[in-house]
Amino acid sequence: MRIVVLAGGIGGARFLRGLKSAVPDADITVIGNTGDDIHLFGLKVCPDLDTVMYTLGGGINEEQGWGRAEESFAVKSELAAYGVGPEWFGLGDRDFATHIVRTQMLAAGYPLSAVTEALCDRWKPGVRLLPMTDDRVETHIAVDLDGQRRVIHFQEYWVRLRASVAAHAIVPVGAEEAKPAPGVLEALADAELVLLPPSNPIVSVGTILAVPGIREAVASTSAPVIGLSPIVGGAPVRGMADKVLAAVGVEATAAAVAAHYGSDLLDGWLVDTVDADAVPKVRAGSMACRAVPLMMTDLEASAAMARAALELAGEVR
Ligand code: FO1
């Protein structure tokens, strides 16, 4: 079966591990968010692409959900010794190699999609990983700091500030001029199933949908589009999705996120069992809905979620 997954970082990657386990013979294309990308020390870092690549390729730092396992930080500490920042973004020695290869290939004229394919040749994630676009898109957040309105990079908001201040606006800079990467629209047109995993609906999946043409392609594909709620019991399972939901005026509930995506996009929505009371509300928004366990505590739990999404797709097909 041809499955397309719009994935962000940690939640998306963990779900993909479950999906691969549930349907090992499926042909899975991942459209990865690149709005988290950041340029540091002259290198291009693609956190969400790397989290998918490392997680499915077996190199991820499991408890963090980002960066490499068995990491060391000699380069990071040497940079700090030179007073070269920022120190708040933890780039490890092994991870640096990925960014050096990526930046070298980009400088040689390869598009990000070709670079990502080359990096995946090593990691063999078992899915086709496409960046949402080959063009530069970086999410910035408007915040008030020291009484001043400032716009800062998503990573500074997320990692340095830990989303501790209110986000007044979320701007995927460059999205309007960006074009879907080669293969993205074709994969969505050919898909037999499209999945929105429990990634951040605003800064991850939302950013992918902000690339002109992608939202339309998801809305118009003949394949069922099934989403899984990243909000369980009124709080994000991981990360700080509630902070960015507030920025766009969306309540941090499973039903509100489904309504935010809209029934023009979604055919079905999975909520966690604790949110079973939301099911009739979601169904009233003319999409199928079922309450199943959505905590990805281990591979089997993630695989069960993937199977539930496949079943719901069968119901709406
Ligand atoms: N997240 C953190 O909370 N702290 C970090 O120091 C950090 C470093 C980092 C380095 C490379 C990378 O690919 C991801 C990294 N992340 C870090 C995660 C990153 O902020 C992700 O973009 C978010 O987790 C959202 O997906």
Tens digit of pLDDT for each residue in 210-264?
A: 999 999 999 999 999 999 999 999 888 877 888 899 999 999 999 999 999 999 9
Neighbouring residues of 110: CB distance < 8 A, sequence distance ≥ 6: 118
pLDDT score, position 194: 98
- Nearest C-alpha to atom 21 of ligand 1 is from which residue? 47
> Which of 48, 66, 154 best tests ligand 1's pocket when mutated (most atoms within 8 Å of CB)?
66
- Give the model's confidence band at 195: pLDDT under 50 very low, under 70 low, under 90 confident, else very high: very high
pLDDT score, position 71: 98
Establish how many alpha carbons lie within 13 A of residue 159's alpha carbon, considering only the half-sphere containing its beta carbon.
Answer: 15
Average pLDDT of the residues of the chain: 97
Closest ligand 1 atom to the C-alpha of 89? 6
pLDDT score, position 311: 98
Cβ pair 313, 266 in contact under 8 A: no
Cβ pair 165, 145 in contact under 8 A: yes
Distance separating alpha carbons of residues 283 and 176, to the nearest angstrom: 32
Amino acid letter at 212? P
Per-residue pLDDT tens digits for 271-307 = 999 999 999 999 999 999 999 999 999 999 999 999 9
- Give the model's confidence band at 68: pLDDT under 50 very low, under 70 low, under 90 confident, else very high: very high
CA 151 / ligand 1 centre spacing (Å): 19
pLDDT score, position 89: 97
pLDDT score, position 236: 85
- Nearest C-alpha to atom 1 of ligand 1 is from which residue? 159
pLDDT score, position 181: 98
Beta bridge partners of 68: 60
Distance separating alpha carbons of residues 256 and 28, to the nearest angstrom: 28
- Nearest C-alpha to atom 2 of ligand 1 is from which residue? 159
Cβ pair 292, 311 in contact under 8 A: no
pLDDT score, position 34: 98
pLDDT score, position 234: 85
Cβ pair 229, 275 in contact under 8 A: yes
pLDDT score, position 292: 98
Q: Quick check: CB of 9 below 6 Å from ligand 1?
A: yes
pLDDT score, position 235: 85
2-36+129-134+176-316 CATH, one of 3.40.50.10680, 1.20.120.80, 3.40.50.720, 3.30.420.40: 3.40.50.10680
Distance separating alpha carbons of residues 287 and 138, to the nearest angstrom: 32
Segment 56-78 shows an average pLDDT of 97
Cβ pair 247, 167 in contact under 8 A: yes
Closest ligand 1 atom to the C-alpha of 47? 13
CA 227 / ligand 1 centre spacing (Å): 24
Q: What's the DSSP call for residue 181?
A: P
- Nearest C-alpha to atom 26 of ligand 1 is from which residue? 9
Closest ligand 1 atom to the C-alpha of 50? 13
pLDDT score, position 239: 76
> Which of 159, 237, 244 best tests ligand 1's pocket when mutated (most atoms within 8 Å of CB)?
159
